[in-house]
Amino acid sequence: MIDPATFAVFLAAAFVLAIVPGPGMLYVLARTVRGGRREGLLSTAGTAVAGMVHTLAAALGVSAVLATSAAAFTAVKWAGAAYLVYLGLRTLLERGEAEGPQPGAASRGALRQGLVTEALNPKTALFFLAFVPQFIDPSGNAFAQFVLLGFVTTLLTSGADLLVVLAAGPLSRVLGRSRRLRTVQRAASGGTLIGLGLYVAVRE
């Protein structure tokens, strides 16, 4: 299995990668500001589940298709980008400003949307394929090591997202007391999601 020194290096690298803001963290921030802490927590849970799915897929070799097939990579990339843009447009077109964030209704699809958004991000799959194998001991059980390191990476990333949720929650409550601020917030959140979709689509 993995020796302690190698695991320590892995933890340090994974921690740095987890705290660097990326599309996943910005997505969770946008959802939290839009719908409050509950929606942010559910979105974080969704992206965490998707991260674990990516880990298992990579460990089984399924994600290798994305690394070797340009068509598969392009299809998944554009599907993820289109979904983010769709979420952004739906946020911009939402009504019901007078009531402010509605935890029950607004959060209803947050878990599913978080899961789908992250699951359709091919860069996550490719990241696991590129990063995790560097710390695997080939003399041990490669599958078990891959799953362990992938899950640890996902937990660290989710922990960073949770901190974002906790920091953004109070802002959501402030927005809930002002219709004008809610309008600005909705525009900012929708624009952020659309921007993320375009970022995923155009970045090489």
Contact indicator for 21, 88 with CB cutoff of 8 Å:
no
Predicted confidence pLDDT, tens digits, the chain (204 residues): 678 888 888 898 888 888 876 677 878 888 888 778 888 899 899 999 988 988 888 888 755 665 677 677 677 678 777 887 888 888 788 764 434 444 444 555 788 888 887 887 776 777 777 788 778 787 778 788 889 999 999 999 999 999 989 888 665 566 566 677 667 767 877 887 788 778 767 765
- Rounded CA Rg of the chain: 18
**Which of 196, 191, 175, 183 is CA-nearest to residue 36?**
175
What is the reported pLDDT for 102? 44
Please report, for residues 67, 99, 168, 174, the alpha-carbon distance to residue 90 in angstroms, rounded to integers and kept in the order given: 32, 17, 21, 22
Q: Give the C-alpha separation, 116 to 179, whole Å.
A: 30
Domain boundaries, the chain: 36-202
**CA-based nearest residue to 66, from 129, 144, 134:** 129
Question: What does the pLDDT read at residue 81?
Answer: 79
Only one residue has tokens 């109070």, namely 170
DSSP result, 16-78: HHHHS--HHHHHHHHHHHHH-HHHHHHHHHHHHHHHHHHHHHHHTTTTHHHHH-HHHHHHHHH
